[in-house]
């Protein structure tokens, strides 16, 4: 059976774009599937998307913030793309768009008519409205542009309070509002086109939407990568499926055939972590997944990952993650649920 090709994503760059958003979206899509393996296993996985920066003429351009953008292709590449993305549009809210962005609007119309998914961040939704694609549809954009969109395009149902809207036939028009909405948009597209776990991993790797808590909740994962020492690598493979077992360090040591003291020394040398610290790291990572994806009581999660004392588990979690298990669930579980519901709605509408 022929292998499925990864989705191609055309990111339209214009002089009215911001380079950080254009290349930020590019980096997020390239990260999906690639960087999680790099952190966990020490080698990159295959990227799950093929992003390209495209422009009207395919030539270098200066973005709205003065940074040089070097496109990969012209807008013709949109014909081969599965998704067309429009970053924000750096124009005053009341400025007329008639006669401007002719080539970009034509590419959006052609892409949508041919069944492609068209997505915009922030004020980029103005191009969809100017193209007539939002007539009769719900839409959102940056709060500073909502009144202008409502006034200039009266057939568009502007949803001022909604951060993300999927609209149109098969919910193939996706808009995110707000200055950093391209992050939410990218995660939504990753979840919709790949799966929610990939989106959550990309969010965690890039600290999306939780910048105020710093990198502490994510940093320990980088220390679980596989090593070249065959004895330690075998122990790592075994413990990945047996981290909840009683006395796991003793079991790993026995499996290695080494004296426990020698095994601990060798493990520390190879990984930079003691065997017990490594076990705690795996258990905490599994508990994060459980906290994100379900509503099991904290005590049940503690027991599931190998801790009989839920109080000890909670203290350990907070010391290593910087949040209590309940705080972690509230922040990351809400995001997972929102992405999951949005993706389910899009799937139902497309079927």
Which residues does the annotation mark as catalytic? 122
Chain-centroid distance of CA 131 in Å reads 28
Q: Are 87 and 124 in contact (CB under 8 A)?
A: yes
User: Closest by alpha carbon to 295, among 334, 321, 262?
Assistant: 334
Residue 273: CA count within 13 A, CB half-sphere: 20
132: helix, coil or strand? Answer: coil
- Phi and psi based region of residue 115 (left: phi greater than 0; alpha: psi -120 to 50; beta: remaining): left
Output Rg (C-alpha) for the chain, integer angstroms. Answer: 24
31: helix, coil or strand? Answer: helix
- The Cβ of residue 69 has, within 10 Å, a number of other Cβ atoms equal to 19
Q: Are 160 and 146 in contact (CB under 8 A)?
A: yes
Q: Are 77 and 10 in contact (CB under 8 A)?
A: yes
CA distance 25 to 101: 21
């Amino acid at each position: 059976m022929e292998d499925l090709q990864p989705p191609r994503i055309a990111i339209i760059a214009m002089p009215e774009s911001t380079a950080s958003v254009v290349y930020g979206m590019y980096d997020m899509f390239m990260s999906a599937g690639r960087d999680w393996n790099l952190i966990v296993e020490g080698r990159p996985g295959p990227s799950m998307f093929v992003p390209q920066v495209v422009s009207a003429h395919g030539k270098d351009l200066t973005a709205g913030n003065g940074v040089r953008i070097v496109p990969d292709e012209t807008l013709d590449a949109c014909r081969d793309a599965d998704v067309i993305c429009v970053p924000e549009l750096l124009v005053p809210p009341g400025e007329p768009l008639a006669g401007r962005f002719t080539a970009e609007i034509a590419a959006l119309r052609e892409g949508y008519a041919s069944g492609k998914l068209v997505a915009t961040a922030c004020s980029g939704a103005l191009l969809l409205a100017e193209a007539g694609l939002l007539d009769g549809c719900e839409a959102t954009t940056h709060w500073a542009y909502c009144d202008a969109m409502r006034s200039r395009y009266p057939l568009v149902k502007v949803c001022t309070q909604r951060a993300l809207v999927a609209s149109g036939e098969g919910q193939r028009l996706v808009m995110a509002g707000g200055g950093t909405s391209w992050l939410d948009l990218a995660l939504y597209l990753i979840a919709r086109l790949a799966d929610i776990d990939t989106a959550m991993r990309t969010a965690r790797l890039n600290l999306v939407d939780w910048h105020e808590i710093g990198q502490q909740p994510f940093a320990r994962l980088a220390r679980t990568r596989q090593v070249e020492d065959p004895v330690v690598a075998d122990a790592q493979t075994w413990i990945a499926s047996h981290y909840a077992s009683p006395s796991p360090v003793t079991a790993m040591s026995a499996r290695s055939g080494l004296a426990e003291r020698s095994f601990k020394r060798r493990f520390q040398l190879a990984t930079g972590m003691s065997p017990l610290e490594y076990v705690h790291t795996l258990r905490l990572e599994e508990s994060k997944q459980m906290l994100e994806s379900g509503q099991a009581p904290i005590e049940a999660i503690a027991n599931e990952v190998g801790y009989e004392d839920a109080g000890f588990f909670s203290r350990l979690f907070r010391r290593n993650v910087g949040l209590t298990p309940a705080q972690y669930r509230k922040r990351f579980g809400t995001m997972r649920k929102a992405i999951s519901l949005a993706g389910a709605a899009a799937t139902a509408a497309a079927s």
